[in-house]
Structure 1
């Protein structure tokens, strides 16, 4: 189900709580909402649909992937960039890492480890920040 976008900055700055496999319907709603905003957005955290669970959805090309409780376990090669955010207007400067390894639970309840670099790594870092209540 497509959910409305949360634009309340106070709400968005609240850290999210860990997700469980029973939260998979939230992950599916997040993917549906991300698909509906494909033209302007490449990733979303559950707090963007006003649910404070550690769930993100990201676009890797045509594929949409949900991650429960994502954690960056390795990062290399820092760089400065600027990013936008569907819930706020404009761009803001931010520090990111060119290469990361993210650990998460998939929608089948399996723990996954995924190395990422470049723009996909940037997307995941941005969305994990949202889970932690960090606005760019």
Structure 2
């Protein structure tokens, strides 16, 4: 189900809890909401649709990938950039890494490991920041 985008900074700054298999509907809602906003959005965290769970979805070309409980295990190539967020107005400066490795569960809760770089790595880092209540 396509959900409304949360824009309340106080809600967005709450810490997220680990997701469980009971949160499978949140994954589907996130994927639906990303698809509905794909003309202006490349990634979303669960808190953006009102669920404080450690789930993100990322547009990787024509694929939309769900990552449950993702953890960045390796990072290199720090750089400064600017980002925007569907939940916030404007563009803000931030620090990111050019290359990252991530351990996560897929939407079927099967363990995965991925290596990402450039813009995809940037999206993943932005969305994972949402778990800690970090707003760019």
Q: TM range, normalised to the smaller chain?
A: over 0.9
1:109 maps to 109
- Displacement of 1:131 in angstroms is 1.4
What's 1:35 paired with? 35
**Gapped runs of 5+ residues in structure 2?**
none
Q: What whole-Å deviation, never above 9, does each CA across 1:51-78 have from its counterpart, x for those lacking one?
A: 1000000000110011110110000000
Give the C-alpha shift of residue 108 in structure 1: 1.5
> After superposition, where does 1:20-99 map in structure 2 within 5 Å?
20-99=20-99
Cα distance in 2 for partners of 1:107, 1:45 equals: 14
Q: Is the 8 A contact 1:21 1:107 kept in 2?
A: no
Residue 16 in structure 1 maps to residue 16 in structure 2: yes
Aligned equivalents of 2:25, 2:31: Cα separation in 1: 10
Question: How far apart, CA to CA, are the structure 2 residues paired with 1:45 and 1:77?
Answer: 24
TM-score, scaled relative to structure 1:
0.98
SS in 2 for 1:88: coil
Runs of 4+ that moved beyond 2 A: none
Aligned length: 136
Q: Name 1:120's counterpart in structure 2.
A: 120
Mean Cα displacement is larger for which, 107-116 or 10-19? 107-116
Alignment partners' CA distance in 2, 1:37 and 1:15: 24
Q: Deviations over 1:11-41 (max 9, x none)?
A: 0000100001221110010000000000110
CA distance in 1, matches of 2:57, 2:109: 16
1:28 counterpart SS class: helix
RMSD value, Cα: 0.6
